[in-house]
Amino acid sequence: MALLLLAGSAGNFDLLQLLLGSSGMVRGVLFLLVCLSIIGWYVILYKGFYLWRAQGESLRFLENFWQAKRLDAVYQQAEQTKRSPLAHMFRAGYVELSKLQKDKEGHDASLHESAGDLENIERALRRASTREATVLESMIPFLATVGSAAPFIGLFGTVVGIIDAFHNIANQGSANLATVAPGIAEALGTTAIGLIAAVPAVMAYNYFARKIRVLTGEMDAFGNDFLNIVKRHFLR
């Protein structure tokens, strides 16, 4: 889409037509860059919507968590929250806590057993946090790959195009501007397309990385808060 806008807004200079009329290697590079750009925009839109929902649901879950009187009520609300990493962490911690509460029914736990129970809950929270961080970071490395590789792929197309232009000059035995300019323009066009594909990917990667750092920090803080609540009210 960005390629068509660029071609349409350039007046008589039709970049799309110029590149499509270039050599086979340059067209292959152009096709690869267009594919990377399309997939990159899909990742940007999908992950943007996913992280937006994850952050919004996490804020609502935290509000309900601190307002609730009982953990079982929070668990029922957490089951309805599909995108919040905090809700997934809570479910993992609550399930582990429920198992420990059942295991020690009918006898008083010693201080050593209570410490071991707390470690079990902490491990469950840590596993859930790692799993949720992996889900949040999925597909994001592809944007970094596009941002770093697309300009070099475009540069490769430029180098191939320039080589082809000089080859045509040698065959025609003429080096005037009319002979050189079309080939050089075709060659530089792939670099432009590479930058068009790379710039949005880099900007989105940096934005998503910051959002994920914020959500990861919230998960760490929530894990500590949950452990403190368990220590004060269930493992005394």
pLDDT band for position 1 (50/70/90)?
A: very low
Q: Which residues of 166-197 are buried (b: 16+ CB within 10 A; e: fewer)?
A: eeeeeeeeeeeeeebeebebbbbbbbbbbebb
- DSSP assignment letter at 108: P
Q: Extract the tokens encoding 141.
A: 């490395």
Q: Is residue 222 over pLDDT 80?
A: yes
What is d(CA 233, CA 236) in angstroms, rounded to the nearest whole number? 7
Torsion of CA 108, 110, 114, 119, to 10 degrees: -140
- Residue among 81, 65, 63 at smallest CA distance from 73: 65
Tokens 């710039």 identify what position?
199
Give me the chain's average pLDDT, please. Answer: 81
Ordered by start, the domain boundaries in the chain are 31-233
Q: What is the pLDDT of residues 123-147, one digit of tens each?
A: 999 999 999 999 999 999 999 999 9
Q: Is residue 106 over pLDDT 60?
A: no
What is d(CA 87, CA 127) in angstroms, rounded to the nearest whole number? 14
pLDDT the model gives residue 128: 93
